[in-house]
Amino acid sequence: MKPRSRHWALDYRREDLSLDLAAGLTVGAMLVPQAMAYALLAGLPPEIGLYAATIPLIVYALLGTSRQLAVGPVAIVSLLTASALSPLIEEGTTGYVSAAALLALMVGIVHLGLGLGRLGFLVNLLSHSVLVGFTAAAAIIIGFSQTKHLLGISVERKSHFYESVVEVFENLPDTHAATLILGAAAVASLFVLKRAAPRVPAALVVVSASIASVEVFDLESKGISVVGDIPDTLPVFGFPDLSGSLIGDLLATAFVITLVGFMESIAVAKVYARRHRYDVDPNRELVGLGAANVAAGLFGGYPVTGGFSRTAVNDTAGARTPLASLVTAGIVLATIVFLTPLFSSLPNAALGAIIIVAVVGLVDVKEMRHIAAVKRSDLVGMSVAFVATLVLGIELGIAVAVVASMLVVFARMSMPHSAVLGRVPGTTSFRNIERFPEVETIDGVRIIRIDAALSFANAAHVKRLVLNLADRAPRPEVLLLDASGINDLDATAAEMLNDVLVELRARDVELHLTHVKGPVRDVLRRSGTWDDLGPRIHPATADAVADILGRSGERNIEPALLNQRRSGIDERSPV
């Protein structure tokens, strides 16, 4: 895949125009109701969702590297916004709207800082399996949070999922029958249209039908809650309230939204980049998304990122360049100016139904099964993230998920894979005796390979492993360490190797090394271990075995250092 060297607009092809226009119109029809629904999820007026779906899209289209990524409000970021703001400020107030814009501005600055500092690798704190578990739990929380709109009941926002469940069940007797019928019909229609006519903008169809139902049957007078008047004013530039205490309260959430939002965005961007044979630059993506969030904060929106479902629709509809996103932004702007009066009768139950159907796909059971089949140990991190998010809430859940990811990695580092090797008959190849029972072992020589960098995390484990092999009957005269899998060594591991040398000497066992890589050689030299080992360091396992068995014929012909130089063992030895 060859990345484009110039901006997409400079290489724009006329034949892409019709496809980009079609994709932009399709996603625009999908985004208008979704943006209002996600604003509702975030505890914001519907117009704020529309504002977040305009200028940010234009900014990302100009600065991002993905040609298909559809940026805008998404469910998880909307829930994170609500969970951060609702304990601090009352929903529905001007202060709440201003705080959402401030949060978007902060998220944008964090993105920009990471991107300009080329720190995109930091988002890898969340492993794929942990992200799957977190996303599934977040989807359940999001979906359940919308039951109040489908049931027509009043439920206070709770900080924990189980409290929300209890609150909903306590208020079930107050369910509004007409609202429930309308909401259930909306959910069913969305699922049917999604399956039977995937190219049809199902959300727009359901929104139009529900508005018509409210108007024709005068459902508002029968108690069905509607969105109400939506301002037809375009987003206006302005700074949110930059309160120092509020910035401090929102700082952790800004980092969490950056982490989760960028992981979602870069994952879907890479999928479509591979499909269309081009590259995305993670650091430039951070800058593009950061600028989009800054724009959202300065134009009255709230945090945005790239979304799975809209990007899929964008690609399916034929998007070839970010011009499709510019068209989508134009559709949303036109809706704000000309069509907002039509949405005043939009029932909240329909918006709740849109959110529920949108997040159902985030509970990816198929991917969970795939993870279990590929690597069962990854189920630990995924399960911890899932349970922690449901029990502790979104923000604490993501913190536990990050810790779980790191603990899983640390656990793997602390007990690295190792293998006792034997020679494949008639060859100079050596393989794991457990996987290749036909290999030959060598009397008096035990060969071990360790497949990990040696560090403080695994030094004690490796030391026990090596000494146990030296003590295992029949006790060997030589222990040969194949270091082909060791690509780094820290001071603790170097000291451990020195201790191993001392203890093996006490057992009358010689330690030999083979396949020692450059960075490891450097550390061994600085620690003094290299000189201690001397001629017991070999270029390859077969050479080591031949030398140990006395078949090399070169061991005493020339000085050891010159042999190491000529054998490619030590590039620093004098010639």
Residue whose structure tokens are 């007797």: 173
Last residue of a domain, one of 409, 440, 469: 409
Q: Does one domain contain both 335 and 361? A: yes
Asked if residue 573 belongs to a domain, the reply is no
Q: Does one domain contain both 191 and 224? A: yes
Asked if residue 1 belongs to a domain, the reply is no
Q: Does one domain contain both 405 and 489? A: no
Asked if residue 61 belongs to a domain, the reply is yes
Q: Which amino acid is at 370?
A: H
- What is the pLDDT, as a whole number, of residue 322? 93
| Half-sphere exposure for 211 (CA within 13 Å, toward CB) | 18
Helix (H) or strand (E) holding 202: helix 202-217
> Which residues touch 197 (CB under 8 Å, ≥6 apart)?
none
Q: Does one domain contain both 84 and 22? A: yes
- For residue 557, give its domain range: 418-566
Cα–Cα dist 308/265, whole Å:
8
Q: Does one domain contain both 75 and 220? A: yes
Overall domain count for the chain: 2
Q: Does one domain contain both 254 and 379? A: yes
Q: Does one domain contain both 377 and 432? A: no
Asked if residue 10 belongs to a domain, the reply is no
Asked if residue 571 belongs to a domain, the reply is no
Last residue of a domain, one of 378, 409, 440: 409
CATH at 528: 3.30.750.24
Asked if residue 4 belongs to a domain, the reply is no
- What is the pLDDT, as a whole number, of residue 123? 67
pLDDT along the chain (575 residues), means of 10: 62 88 89 92 94 97 93 92 91 94 97 90 74 85 89 82 89 93 94 86 88 93 90 92 90 90 85 85 93 97 90 86 95 94 91 87 86 85 88 79 79 89 92 93 93 93 94 92 93 94 93 92 90 87 88 43 59 54
- Contact, 147 vs 168, CB < 8 A? yes
pLDDT in tens, 492-551: 999 999 999 999 999 999 999 999 998 999 999 999 888 888 888 998 999 899 888 885
DSSP 366: H
Q: Is 367 left (phi over 0), alpha (psi -120 to 50) or beta?
A: alpha
Q: Does one domain contain both 395 and 445? A: no
Cα–Cα dist 195/552, whole Å:
71
Q: Does one domain contain both 292 and 350? A: yes
Asked if residue 444 belongs to a domain, the reply is yes
- What is the pLDDT, as a whole number, of residue 297? 97
- Cα three-residue angle 385-387-390, rounded to 5 degrees: 105
- What is the pLDDT, as a whole number, of residue 554? 41
Asked if residue 575 belongs to a domain, the reply is no
Cα–Cα dist 330/324, whole Å:
10
Closest listed residue to residue 413, CA positions, set 458, 346, 463: 458
Q: Does one domain contain both 390 and 532? A: no
Structural tokens at position 540 = 């390859």
- What is the pLDDT, as a whole number, of residue 259? 86
pLDDT in tens, 445-456: 999 999 999 999
Cα–Cα dist 508/430, whole Å:
25
Last residue of a domain, one of 348, 377, 409: 409
Q: Does one domain contain both 212 and 313? A: yes
- What is the pLDDT, as a whole number, of residue 3? 46
Q: Does one domain contain both 453 and 398? A: no
